[in-house]
Amino acid sequence: MNRTLVLLLAGGVGSRLNILGAQRAKPAVPFGGMYRIIDFTLSNAMNSGLDTVGVLTQYKPLSLMWHVGTGDPWDFTGRSRGAKILPPRTGQKDSDWYRGTADAVRQNMGFIRSHQSEHLLILSGDHIYTMDYAAMIDFHAERNADLTIAMMRVPWDETHHFGIGVTDENDRIVKWEEKPQSANSNLASMGIYVFKSDYLLNALSASSEHDFGKHIIPNALKKDRVFAYPFEGYWRDVGTIKALWQANMDLLDPASGIDLSGWRLRTNVEEEGGLGDRPPVYLSPNSSVVNSIISPGCRISGHVEDSVLSPGVRVEKGAVISNSVIMHDVVVGANTSVDRGILDKQVYVGPGAVVGHGSEDVANTDSPDHLSAGLVLVGKDAIVPAGAKIGRHCILHPEVTPADYGSTVLGAGATLRPMYTEA
């Protein structure tokens, strides 16, 4: 495996994650209580025996850089091991930023050449899954492939979200469609590629095109050996609010296929706000927890059901949390109700408030395609005033305060932003 160099693409803008992706890179979004999304890809690489990873960052990279650090939590430290953050070579022009997945790799060809690898494994940092990359690399080598793409069957009505391949009886890809409106196959790309190193370097040097799915793969099919590596198992792209929420809910369903302990998942427990200094969970005598994940440092005096709580969450007496994802150091006040809420870090919900009130039928007025299933999204450091009622499909931006509310009732589909005043 030391002949394989890993490049992890972690610089994308999480625009469909709305305010969760506004101040952090998508792979740095918290997941499953004490993890971040990128932990899955890094842990897969570790468990596959890979030893050198370049993490390509771009958008809002600070929290991601702190989290990855030197790579030590995933055992990427040592004389012949390492995880290196690779920011874009930015200058004064927008074109200096990565313009696509292939362009991101092209801008780091110096890093690739400095590691004399036989194969390049290109990964994305925003998917939830477990996979043995070593088996895929062996598959690639046995077929003498120039490019191998990990692929899996998806529902036909989701094919327009993916690159779609048609294969022959030997798993060789004979046709490619990038996000087709009417697909000829439901075999979808997982955004995981193995290239012969020399092959990819030559392809990138000979072309200025920017994207693997739109450009590099279709060109390769014309003359080169391109194969599909079949994958079966749990895999979810958590690039939308609903997908992120559903993946968290899948953690609570034994039939979903997620097994965090069995997957040997690791995270950085020493980063600021992490697990390193958190006390054990405290459950008061009158509290109750049903089918939920409760992380270290949580203090529960109310009722929590079918929910995922990150470290440091405090649930006061009489509060009820259900079907929700609650991130680090949120305080849910006494006698409150939170249903289908996604609450970012350090939110405060005042006593007697209701988050997730009323009907699901009204779409969010500002981002109608971002929220569904009755979800409510509350940004980091936001305050929900005591007694407030927050309707379904509402978005509360980070740092809203009681002064920003025109009424204690926020109707379904509303968006609330801070009313900053100039000094």
pLDDT single digits (tens) 218-240: 889 989 999 999 999 999 999 89
Q: How many CA atoms lie within 13 A of 6 on its CB side?
A: 30
The confidence score (pLDDT) of residue 62 equals 86
Last residue of a domain, one of 250, 274, 306: 250
The confidence score (pLDDT) of residue 106 equals 86
Last residue of a domain, one of 250, 272, 298: 250
The confidence score (pLDDT) of residue 95 equals 47
The confidence score (pLDDT) of residue 302 equals 98
Q: How many CA atoms lie within 13 A of 13 on its CB side?
A: 8
The confidence score (pLDDT) of residue 103 equals 83
Beta partners for residue 52, in sequence order: 82
Q: How far apart are CA 203 and CA 217, in angstroms?
A: 10
Residue 274 lies in a domain: no
The confidence score (pLDDT) of residue 318 equals 98
178 and 316 inside one domain: no
189 and 316 inside one domain: no
Pairwise pLDDT comparison (421 vs 252), residue with the higher score: 252
Phi, psi of 348 (to 5 degrees): -120, 125
Pairwise pLDDT comparison (259 vs 317), residue with the higher score: 317
148 and 98 inside one domain: yes
Residue 267 lies in a domain: no
Residue 259 lies in a domain: no
Average pLDDT over every residue of 321-345 = 98
228 and 330 inside one domain: no
287 and 243 inside one domain: no
244 and 290 inside one domain: no
Average pLDDT over every residue of 89-104 = 62
In which residue are the tokens 């294969």 written? 167
pLDDT single digits (tens) 335-390: 999 999 999 999 999 999 999 998 878 999 999 999 999 999 999 999 999 999 99
The confidence score (pLDDT) of residue 135 equals 97
Pairwise pLDDT comparison (90 vs 252), residue with the higher score: 252
| Among 325, 395, 321, 399, residue whose Cα is nearest residue 353 | 321
Please determine, for residue 201, whether its predicted confidence score (pLDDT) is greater than 50: yes
- Whole-number average pLDDT of the chain: 91
Locate 88 and state its tokens.
């874009």
Q: How many domains does the chain have?
A: 2
83 and 200 inside one domain: yes
Give me the CATH number covering residue 147. Answer: 3.90.550.10
**Amino acid in position 211:** D
| Among 336, 296, 289, residue whose Cα is nearest residue 33 | 296
The confidence score (pLDDT) of residue 94 equals 46
Look up the domain containing 311 and give its range.
Answer: 282-416
Most confident of 67-71, 166-170, 201-205: 166-170
In 93-186, DSSP assigns E strands to 119-124, 127-129, 147-153, 163-167, 173-178
The confidence score (pLDDT) of residue 208 equals 72
The confidence score (pLDDT) of residue 129 equals 96
What residues contact 116, with CB distance under 8 A and at least 6 apart? none
The confidence score (pLDDT) of residue 120 equals 96
The confidence score (pLDDT) of residue 273 equals 65
pLDDT single digits (tens) 390-401: 999 999 999 999
Residue 138 lies in a domain: yes
245 and 342 inside one domain: no
The confidence score (pLDDT) of residue 401 equals 97
Residue 262 lies in a domain: no
The confidence score (pLDDT) of residue 260 equals 85
Please determine, for residue 92, whether its predicted confidence score (pLDDT) is greater than 50: no
27 and 166 inside one domain: yes
236 and 343 inside one domain: no
Locate 221 and state its tokens.
């099919």
pLDDT tier for residue 75 given thresholds of 50, 70 and 90: very high
| CB contact at 8 A, 380 and 328 | no
Residue 359 lies in a domain: yes
Q: How many CA atoms lie within 13 A of 195 on its CB side?
A: 22
212 and 291 inside one domain: no
Residue 12 lies in a domain: yes
The confidence score (pLDDT) of residue 91 equals 45
pTM: 0.92
Give me the CATH number covering residue 383. Answer: 2.160.10.10
pLDDT tier for residue 423 given thresholds of 50, 70 and 90: very low
Residue 400 lies in a domain: yes
Q: How many CA atoms lie within 13 A of 401 on its CB side?
A: 4
108 and 173 inside one domain: yes
